[in-house]
């Protein structure tokens, strides 16, 4: 039996990564961060994978945070390295050319919320709770929480979540733009599978171009972003998928995209 902190399962073009540390509520330690980084690199390199779904094992937690037992023994230098390791992994996810969906099945706190926020889409169960409670430990977010939360929910909400440290319900997270959808817990798997299948049937090169445009546009001025969008728009016109998509529309049939 494998002692890996990560379970990997493929269903057609959709790969599901499940953080499997239920005894620790799927807390992120160094080994899990390394395993996640390797798994996302493998999914990026595998042409058979078009979409990745990320979730946590068990009914209680997506990821309840970073592993406090491991963190409590770190020196200042080691803590900085731990932070950078987590940030590199999450930045890799954020910049992936394939959509990554966080299926938030329970608590997403601290490093768990940071991990969810680096994914491209987030679907949460109505029983889930999210938050940045590091202040309660005399800490601050270390995996990008202050930065991604600021970009998703704005300054006021970021300050409230990070300074007060209290978790919020999934519906409140939806109102703030932290998650994209909230569904009944019993329907979370089905709704996520449906969305993943929809994305997996889309044109891979167009998906990649759209992800790139949003990533670039979120970090530059509008003129540079518009120029980048035009370049990507022109680039997809050289693809077979673009010809297939437009032909299928005119012929009133469903397109079949090959990623070429």
| pLDDT of res. 259 | 83
Going by C-alpha positions, the residue among 6, 18, 31, 10 that lies closest to residue 57 is: 18
Based on the fold, state whether residues 169 and 80 are members of the same structural domain: yes
pTM above 0.85, yes or no: yes
User: Choosing from 23, 70, 94, 134, which is the catalytic residue?
Assistant: 134
User: Choosing from 23, 94, 114, 191, which is the catalytic residue?
Assistant: 114
| pLDDT of res. 2 | 57
CATH code (residue 106): 3.90.226.10
Based on the fold, state whether residues 225 and 237 are members of the same structural domain: yes
| pLDDT of res. 1 | 40
Based on the fold, state whether residues 208 and 195 are members of the same structural domain: no
Tell me, yes or no, whether 132 lies in a domain.
yes
Domain count, the chain: 2
Strand-strand pairing, 168-169 and 121-125: unpaired
Full domain range(s) for residue 237: 204-250
Based on the fold, state whether residues 237 and 155 are members of the same structural domain: no
Q: Name residues of the chain where pLDDT drops below 70.
A: 1-2
As a whole number of angstroms, the distance between CA 18 and CA 104 comes to: 11
Based on the fold, state whether residues 213 and 193 are members of the same structural domain: no
Please confirm, yes or no, whether 251 is among the known catalytic residues. Answer: no
Tell me, yes or no, whether 259 lies in a domain.
no
Please confirm, yes or no, whether 171 is among the known catalytic residues. Answer: no
Exposure of 126 by Cβ count < 10 A (0-12 exposed, 13-18 middle, 19+ buried)? middle
List pLDDT tens digits, range 52-92.
999 999 989 999 999 999 999 999 999 999 999 999 999 99
Based on the fold, state whether residues 193 and 216 are members of the same structural domain: no
CATH code (residue 237): 1.10.12.10
As a whole number of angstroms, the distance between CA 27 and CA 156 comes to: 27
């Amino acid at each position: 039996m494998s002692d890996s902190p990560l379970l990997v399962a493929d269903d057609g073009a959709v790969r599901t990564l499940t953080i499997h540390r239920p005894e620790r509520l799927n807390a992120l330690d160094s080994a899990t961060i390394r395993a996640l980084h390797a798994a996302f690199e493998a999914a990026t390199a595998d042409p058979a994978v078009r979409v990745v779904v990320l979730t946590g094992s068990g009914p209680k937690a997506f990821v309840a945070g970073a592993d406090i037992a491991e963190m409590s023994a770190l020196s200042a230098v080691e803590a900085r390295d731990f932070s950078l390791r987590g940030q590199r992994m999450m930045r890799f996810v954020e910049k992936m050319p394939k959509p990554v969906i966080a299926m938030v099945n329970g608590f997403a706190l601290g490093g768990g919320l940071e991990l969810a926020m680096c994914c491209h889409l987030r679907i949460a169960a109505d029983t889930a709770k999210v938050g940045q409670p590091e202040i309660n430990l005399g800490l601050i977010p270390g995996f990008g929480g202050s930065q991604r939360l600021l970009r998703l929910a704005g300054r006021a909400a970021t300050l409230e979540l990070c300074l007060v440290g209290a978790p919020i319900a999934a519906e409140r997270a939806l109102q703030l733009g932290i998650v994209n959808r909230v569904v009944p817990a019993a329907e979370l798997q089905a709704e996520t599978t449906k969305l993943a299948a929809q994305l997996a049937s889309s044109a891979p090169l167009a998906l990649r171009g759209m992800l790139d445009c949003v990533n670039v546009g979120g970090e530059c001025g509008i003129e540079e972003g518009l120029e980048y969008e035009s370049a990507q728009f022109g680039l997809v016109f050289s693809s077979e998928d673009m010809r297939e998509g437009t032909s299928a529309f005119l012929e009133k049939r469903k397109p079949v995209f090959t990623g070429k």
